[in-house]
Amino acid sequence: MESNITESIESILKSTSLLSMATVNGKKAHINTAFFAYDENFYIYFLSDSKSQHIKNIKNNNSVAVTVYTSNQTLADKLKGIQIFGTCKQANGKTLLNAFLAYSKRHSIFRKEIKKPIDLKLWGSKLYCIKPEYFKILDEKVFGVGKWVEVKAVR
């Protein structure tokens, strides 16, 4: 991935800790918001109750679409945001460790209350991992006004 694209993705993900994620159950769409963390491969990690509608949907169809942007932008600004398309599943094994470390680094309340992955039971939640397949990036300061850049994820 070109450095300006990598830097743009990093800048957007760093700018906010909330995402919106769309899932599908049959013919019905569902959207939710979640706090997230990410790693150097731009895998996205979030915490959720396994009984929530979006997790039920992911168990049946792991395809997800995510948006990340800061909501205080106006049309007069140089706009920036990202759409991420990929798959999602519960974090286990090495992925759980990576998710735990990334989430702990980003969210201080999590770091204070959850000392090891087994402690997630205290919150009644599990960590999930979104593996991006491709990104659609809007970063007008870097790429120009109204210019979306599409790029496949590098594994």
What is the full per-residue pLDDT of the chain (155 aa) written as tens digits? 688 999 999 999 999 999 999 999 988 999 999 999 999 999 999 999 989 999 999 999 999 999 999 888 888 889 999 999 999 999 999 999 999 999 989 998 777 777 777 667 777 789 999 999 999 999 999 999 999 999 999 86
Contacts of residue 4, Cβ cutoff 8 Å, sequence gap at least 6:
142
Where in the chain are the domains?
3-152
3-152 under CATH 3.40.50.2300, yes or no: no
Contacts of residue 150, Cβ cutoff 8 Å, sequence gap at least 6:
134, 135, 136, 137
